[in-house]
Structure 1
Amino acid sequence: MPFLSDAERDDLRIDRMVFHVVGPDLTDPVLLAEFDPPIFTEFFLGRIKSAMGGNAYKFRPESPTMATLREIGADQTQFVRGSETLAASFQHEHRQNSIDGVFFLFLLSTVEDRRMFALVKYDTDQVLKYEIADAEGRRRAILEEFRQTFSTKRESLQKIALVRLGAEDGEMMVRDRSRPEGISEYFGKFLRVKRAATPAEFTKKTERLLKEVMKQHRDDLDPEIRKGGARRINEQLRTTREFGPETQLQLFDAVFGVLPDNSPVRRTYLRKLATAKLDEETFQVDPTAIPRTPRRRIETVEGIQILFDEEDRGRIEKRELPTGDTEILITTAQVTVDDDDALDRSGGT
């Protein structure tokens, strides 16, 4: 299932929020008071939800960030102190690489009072505000500069980790603008996390999923698509450099053909992606994890060889004749190479 179900997304609430100022010119973050009660919650919930399509990670056991979040979870009086600890750690790890912004800590809740945290680095934008005024009989624009502002632009949300703590570990969705396919080194160092799976494991998982869809919908597919299905899946997946929300439907079209949005094949594919938690994941496809379709061989005493893929075994039929000979029948959609045709065209005998 996705990191958040539809019901959890719809019911997501901000219970507490605070931010501290971070940036390259600061030795320590500028610590600020908590917003009590939280303000502009719909604005910030919109930003958090817009970043849901991230990558799955898990805390390493020694993660200080996880330890701090656990302290807050066990005793909410530690919320502000914990946020200051996290902001100081974030500032320390990012001081040489960051730009001016703020570090947010949100305490969230959703259905059945399930608790989560959102850790957010928000870049502050430079914007110009204008007003129109009448002066000397003419309308003039008056410009005013604002530097410390938050924008609805998705790119302003530099980094976000949405965290759900378990009894012993913690899982999260991470979106890092500087590394869409993963996480930047310094953000990873701050969080102390590991990817939920390796690229090879994600690749293998996707391959199995595609083959399940192919098997389930064989009767719904064009015969040309159905023919050599496993080989087709492996070849198309092998040529896909990066799998993610931007490419998952392109891969579907390459494997199954362009089908309408309401196609049962497409619906099954999208449902299985969500169940496997691959619908929001971005990873580099590992070609070494994709098996080569095994080749089979039949050879006769006359030296005749027949080579075919395992998945085409059903096209080869062998029958024992009363004479003791073996008849081999090959069923094919089309013969593409025949040396006799070439000899006929060249006048050979």
Structure 2
Amino acid sequence: MRVTAGVVDDEIAAQDRMGRAPDLTDYFAGFLDVRRTRTDGELNRKLSEALREVFVERRADLPGQDASAALRTAKNALSQRQRIDNAAVQEAVLVAAGDPQDDDLRRAFESTTTRKLRTAKLTGVEFEPDATMLRRPARKRIQTVEGVTIEYPTDLEGVRVRQQPNSAGGRTIVIETARVEDEGPVRDRTR
């Protein structure tokens, strides 16, 4: 429980060792008059966002500097687990980061992961993986200096979306599609 200015907050964190986490036994729930406020789906969504933030922040330390590939690897590793807890997340992040051998780099990934989990209020939480949420391909966004933005699921990379260096020192981006779904002017968002 958290006490702020002498007043007990309504929210508490509870772990019932007699019930299967994260569910509470009826006795424990009745004794504390508590109920669960976040579903496994919400926890998985928060976890996905926290992982994305870790890999975006530590992009320069990733093999190939590919945050999308690292996110996909970590989410896939976590989707295979029976339960997700902080140790499992730390392990998945390190695997996705190429299992760095440099102790300073490992500590940097662990520190960033711990901070992002704390911000997402996932510290000390254990829950079941939601395979549909965790196996959903991450989305990748490319923004060019010309102001072109492309966003696509990472599982299309190398299949329908390819990037190749060109003779001018830039990149050529090729998108293959069966048909264009929507095309038209975009609302001006400048203020």
Q: TM-score with structure 2 length normalisation?
A: 0.62
- Cα distance, 1:214 vs structure 2: 1.0
Match of 2:163 in 1: 316
> Residues 293, 227 of structure 1: CA spacing in aligned structure 2 closer, same or farther, 3 A cutoff?
closer
Match of 1:114 in 2: 6
Runs of at least 5 residues in structure 2 that lack an aligned partner in the other structure: 140-153, 167-171, 175-191
Runs of at least 5 residues in structure 1 that lack an aligned partner in the other structure: 5-108, 116-163, 296-307, 320-326, 330-349
Identity, % of aligned positions: 27
> Residues 196, 318 of structure 1: CA spacing in aligned structure 2 closer, same or farther, 3 A cutoff?
same
Higher normalized helix content (fraction of residues): 2
How large is the Cα RMSD of the aligned pairs? Answer: 3.5
> Residues 226, 240 of structure 1: CA spacing in aligned structure 2 closer, same or farther, 3 A cutoff?
same
Deviations 1:141-182 (A, max 9, x none): xxxxxxxxxxxxxxxxxxxxxxx33xxxx1111122213622
Q: How far apart, CA to CA, are the structure 1 residues paired with 2:57 and 2:138?
A: 22
User: Which one is further off, 249-258 or 203-212?
Assistant: 249-258
Q: How far apart, CA to CA, are the structure 1 residues paired with 2:162 and 2:75?
A: 20
> Residues 311, 212 of structure 1: CA spacing in aligned structure 2 closer, same or farther, 3 A cutoff?
farther
Match of 1:173 in 2: 13
Higher normalized strand content (fraction of residues): 1
Q: How far apart, CA to CA, are the structure 2 residues paired with 1:311 and 1:221?
A: 18
SS in 2 for 1:200: helix
Q: How far apart, CA to CA, are the structure 1 residues paired with 2:90 and 2:113?
A: 9
Q: Is the 8 A contact 1:243 1:283 kept in 2?
A: yes
Number of paired residues? 151
Match of residue 277, structure 1, among 98, 106, 121: 121
Deviations 1:288-322 (A, max 9, x none): 22352289xxxxxxxxxxxx724557743499xxx
The residue correspondences of 1:20-169 to structure 2 (distance < 5 A) are 113-115=5-7, 164-165=8-9
> Residues 311, 209 of structure 1: CA spacing in aligned structure 2 closer, same or farther, 3 A cutoff?
farther
- Asked if 1:290 corresponds to 2:182, the answer is no
